Chains A and B, each alone.
Chain A
Amino acid sequence: MTELSSRVGEVIEASTVEFVAQCYELYRSPPLGSLVKTADENAEQYGIVYNVTTSSIEPGRRPIARGKDEANEADIYSNSPQLAKLLRTEFSAILVGHRHGAELRYYLPPHPPRIHSFVYQCQSEEVKEFSRAFEFLPMLVGAQLPVPVEEVVAACLRQMSREAEDPHRFLVTAGKELAVLLGNDFNRLKAILGRIRAG
């Protein structure tokens, strides 16, 4: 399956429920809500990107504004080529499933990914396969995240719908799952539906 994914970075921090990966290229993070996976020889673990950060590689040292005399942003980077080396892009993903043999399991793997595991952004076929069932939604919807969960869920479904044969059907079906999950929280449901409607 790995051929179908494109490698984007490496795990630099991991726990049972999520991991943080550093991107190989500055700003080349998989977009918010996308399906990513880590793979080592034991396991493939799937996560949904919920947060992306770009910051200085040295903790405590913040970049300073440099563009006062430049015509545009690109000039800043071309005039200070070292900049790209001083900054890094990282993303956090919440774990939503793993593969056991050939079988997809929509629950947490027994062990978190190892540091330096490669991280891939899942491609069309794999997204399609993974989103054939919506059993990952409860974990996602129920997660405690430092970002608004509704945004993450909506972004995730929007992306998945693009790979579906009938995007509208896909979103309606997903919406129905959400309606059941959020049966007693109509406001949250509305917030998500409002963000996927345009599809």
Chain B
Amino acid sequence: MTEEYNHLGIVVSGSLTKGIEVRLDGSASVEEMAVGRYVTIQGEKRRFFGMITDISLGVTDERITLSPPPAADRFTAEVLAGTGTFGTLHVLPMLTIGGDTGALIEGPQPVKTVPAHFAEVRLASQQDMETVFGGEDARKFYIGTPLDMETKICLDLPELVKRSNGIFGKSGTGKTFLTRILLIGMLQKSAAVNLVFDMHNEYGWEGSSESKHGKVKGLKQLFPASVAVFTLDEESSKRRKVSTDFVVRIGYDEIEPEDIALLRQTLNLTDIAVEAVYQLARKYGRNWVQSTLDIEDAEELPEGLNIHESTLQNLQRGLNTFRRLPFLTPHSSENVVQRILEYLDRGINVVLEFGRYTDITAYILVANLLSRRIYDQYRSRTEKATAEDSIPPRPLVITIEEAHKFLNPVVANQTIFGTIAREMRKYNVTLLVIDQRPSGIDEEVMSQLGTKITCLLDNERDIDAVLAGVSGRNELKSVLAKLESKQQALIFGHAVPMPVVVKTREYGSAASYKDFGSDEAETQKKTKKDIEELWG
């Protein structure tokens, strides 16, 4: 690509809030433009960076549209291109580079003004993109390439995991693939450990793909030394030949009233039934679930409990669901939480697969129950570390799918996930939420997500929810709605200097695994080194 080729046109009008109108030269073809691409604008003092968010056609004289030249008259069309008829780009300015020397050292800055009239506009070059997104390094992880370019777009992972993040997109757009890639990135570059609640058994050992590969490797196949697979369904894991590290059993006595509150909808409980749970738990203590299931008649209820017969029945019907979940036993002698923490402390990422128990009840119950207790541990350990000025626990990222089930406005205040999302990284725990229906997530939680990566969304409400509070939201909306139906994502937030559309890095071919650095010896060495560094 020559410089000449990159020339697009000039700035003709615009504003900082609404974006800039760029008039395309006759030589630049409208058809070669695409929303989501980057341009640079050479101002007098600094260079601006912006994203194309709309493309339109204009005429200088309405008569051209009224009596257009005949289609066969290529000559007239060619003459008119860029003169009587012209393309316009709508560009959202995002960053500036340069200015005085100080600014050069500081790197790209958010825009505070617009370029002057007639400033020259060009397609951003590979080098421009590198200046802004930087190359791969110890912190930066290659997540994908910008549209029509080979530059690597990199995320600053230590920065990313400081806050909770979200991956969105409708079904089949590449959320799972993106998540896998991001998990690898975190595993390699962030110094954080992950706990993944793997509803569909896609992350730990092996996942499926719609493409010709059929199957793709999971994290443990690629990085056996730094990933452990826990399972709730040993039989299913065995059948799939997963090398599991631990079989999870949870006792009824580990279930707390908050867990039930969260399951109100899926267990079909009335509000009164949920209130009754708290009474029962106060009365029976840890054994409240078993005790409640054992009551045969409301008359048998101990004194002081004010629970109506129908409420009790409603509750018992709900709790009976637990009996169908074999990983739940009245009492479990193993302390799952402790086991998970042991792994996490060693810097080993834990993927908990659900086997056949893919129904939402099991998922909500287990994810909430375990996360709450792990979080409690993190909190007390962090507080202790602060008090004693010792090393706090390794940063933890908890990945949950179907996030709106945990974080919808009704329950977000009650769940541990709502707490984690809201308080940022107070206790070294953050979330990676994956959801195809972001409009179902509490607004406040959404606003706390540091970086959002979103694949195609076509529901207006979902698009609004994801873009709420983002500057240039209207413009980004059209970009988001025009993403390819697979393997393309819009990334914006803390971990990138400006919103960017990427073609997500390829995952699933042998070459891709190699690119991800699935080298056993190396990983082991690094993990060991990390541990040494961390624990001295």
Contact = CB atoms under 8 A, between A and B. Distances in A.
A197 B83 contact: no
B61 A183 contact: yes
Nearest to A198: B75
Given A184-B61, A186-B64, A190-B69, A179 B83 contact: yes
Interface stretch (A12-20, A66-74, A140-148, A169-177): A169-177
B64 A175 contact: no
Nearest to A192: B79
A101 to B, nearest CB: 32
B76 A193 contact: yes
Which residue, A171, A178, A197, has most C-beta atoms of chain B within 10 A?
A197
B26 interface: yes
B324 interface: no
A193 B78 CA distance: 11
Contacts of A197: 73, 75-76
Interface string A157-180: 000000000000001100110111
Given A184-B61, A187-B63, A190-B69, A179 B80 contact: yes
Given A186-B61, A186-B63, A186-B64, A172 B84 contact: no
Contact of A171 (B73, B75, B84): B75
B339 to A, nearest CB: 74
A185 B60 CA distance: 10
A197 B69 CA distance: 12
A76 interface: no
A47 to B, nearest CB: 26
Contacts of B69: 190, 193
B63 A193 contact: no
Contact of A179 (B63, B67, B73, B79): B79
Which residue, B61, B67, B79, has most C-beta atoms of chain A within 10 A?
B79
B82 interface: yes
Nearest to B66: A186
Q: Is the interface of A mostly helix, strand, loop or mixed?
A: helix
A193 B83 contact: no
Contact of A190 (B26, B60, B76, B83): B76
B80 A172 contact: no
A189 interface: yes
B75 A179 contact: no
A160 to B, nearest CB: 16
A179 B61 CA distance: 10
Contacts of B76: 175, 190, 193-194, 197
B61 A176 contact: no
Nearest to A175: B79
Contact of A183 (B26, B60, B78): B60
Contacts of B67: 186, 190
Contact of B75 (A180, A183, A193): A193
Contacts of B84: 179, 183, 186, 189
Contacts of B83: 176, 179-180, 183
Contacts of A171: 75
Contacts of B73: 197
Nearest to A174: B79
A176 B82 contact: yes
A185 B84 CA distance: 10
A54 B137 CA distance: 83
A50 B438 CA distance: 71
Nearest to A183: B60
Interface string B42-78: 0000000000000000001101100101000101101
A176 B60 contact: no
Nearest to A184: B61
A170 to B, nearest CB: 12
A193 B75 CA distance: 8
B69 to A, nearest CB: 7
Contacts of B26: 176
A185 B73 CA distance: 19
Contacts of B63: 186-187
B423 to A, nearest CB: 60
B430 to A, nearest CB: 56
B302 to A, nearest CB: 91
Given A186-B84, A190-B69, A175 B75 contact: yes
A193 B79 contact: yes
A85 to B, nearest CB: 46
A138 to B, nearest CB: 15
A51 B207 CA distance: 83
A172 B77 CA distance: 10
A191 to B, nearest CB: 11
Contacts of A176: 26, 79, 82-83
A181 B477 CA distance: 38
A178 B75 CA distance: 13
B66 to A, nearest CB: 9
Nearest to A176: B83
A167 to B, nearest CB: 12
Contact of A172 (B60, B64, B75): B75
A145 to B, nearest CB: 23
B61 A172 contact: no
A194 B73 CA distance: 9
Nearest to B63: A186
Contacts of B75: 171-172, 175, 193, 197
A112 to B, nearest CB: 34
B128 to A, nearest CB: 29
Interface string B462-489: 0000000000000000000000000000
Which residue, A176, A184, A185, A186, has most C-beta atoms of chain B within 10 A?
A186
A194 B63 CA distance: 16
Contacts of B60: 179, 183-184
Interface in B10-51: 26
A81 to B, nearest CB: 48
Nearest to B62: A186
Contacts of B78: 172, 175
Top 4 A-B pairs, shortest CB-CB distance: A175-B79, A179-B83, A186-B63, A186-B61
Given A176-B83, A180-B83, 14 more contacts: A172-B79, A175-B79, A176-B79, A178-B79, A179-B60, A183-B60, A183-B83, A183-B84, A184-B61, A185-B61, A186-B64, A190-B67, A193-B79, A197-B75
11 contacts: A172-B78, A175-B75, A176-B26, A176-B79, A179-B60, A179-B80, A180-B83, A183-B61, A193-B75, A197-B73, A197-B76
